[in-house]
Amino acid sequence: MTNVFVIGLGLIGGSFALDIKSVYGEAKIYGIDTNEDHLNQAVKLGLIDSKAAMEDLSDAEVVIVAVPVNTSLKLLPEVLDLVGDDAVVFDAGSTKSLICEAVATHPKRRNFLAAHPIAGTEFSGPSAALEGLYRNKVNIICEVEKTAFKLQEKVLKLFTDIGMRIRYMDPGAHDRHIAYVSHLSHISSFMLGKTVIEKEKNERDIFDMAGSGFESTVRLAKSSPAMWAPIFEQNRANVTETLEEYIANLQQFLDLMKKGEFDAIYHEMENTNRIREILKGINVPAS
């Protein structure tokens, strides 16, 4: 593998760059980003070997598009316009239906692979990039049959070489499932953070009492709104449905509290404890 272009040099793109450099010593990594500070940081941190521009994509062997999903809708067709016939382009977005629709009729659709690596942290920017971020993580691939076979082979080998496990899924099914296990958890974290911040205005000591339980639950509230607002917009129908179910469960819990039915609350929690077995050995999505 030689010329790899990473568009978007934050946590996701930067971590791909680090992992590719660690596995493919001969690879030359080029970076493209609208944020000049991010480009400079990426060079300084060793994420990329050189800055590049969109017109350089004709030299690409692999292009990684790691930008917010709303940007991807416009950018991916432009990238496909510029790459050569033997280049493979993949994205890393947390929604897949609209992304796949955006390139469905493109003449170079065969050069694109729709991917969602289930990995991440609450941090953003080039300094958040981590070598090994994708090791033992699941990568969901959608519409693999629409990618040219030799290009499938190339990029799937890249994924396995950096330690990822591959799953195949329909874009619609992906978006429904990810609304529950990723998008809803981010909303919960944002709203818990909002609730506590509003309370803290009147009770300055509240954070002195915050322990590890609060810290782990609210961790995702530190995630980038620039990335997550477009995700909620693109997956609006599925996120709305999951929120309605979640709110119904919260309302039920509130009703039990008001009625003093603590045996019922105990049984609700006991029944939910089985999630420990469900999650045993499973990587829980962070993005």
Question: CATH number of the domain that 241 lies in?
Answer: 1.10.3660.10
Other CB atoms within 10 Å distance of the CB of residue 64:
26
pLDDT value at 285 more than 50 = no
pTM: 0.87
How large is the average pLDDT for residues 215-240?
92
Q: Please, which pLDDT band fits residue 204 given cuts at 50, 70 and 90?
A: low
Residue 284 inside a domain? The answer is: no
pLDDT value at 47 more than 80 = yes
**What digits encode the pLDDT tens for the residues 50-108?**
999 999 999 999 999 999 999 999 999 999 999 999 999 999 999 999 999 999 999 99
Alpha helices in the chain (DSSP H): 11-23, 36-44, 69-82, 97-103, 149-161, 171-178, 184-200, 212-218, 225-234, 236-259, 262-272, 275-279
Number of domains within the chain: 2
Give residue for tokens 């170079």.
108
Same domain for 178 and 263? Answer: yes
Domain residue limits at 99: 3-171
Identify whether the C-beta of residue 41 lies closer than 8 Å to the C-beta of residue 126. Answer: yes
pLDDT value at 144 more than 70 = yes
Same domain for 163 and 203? Answer: no
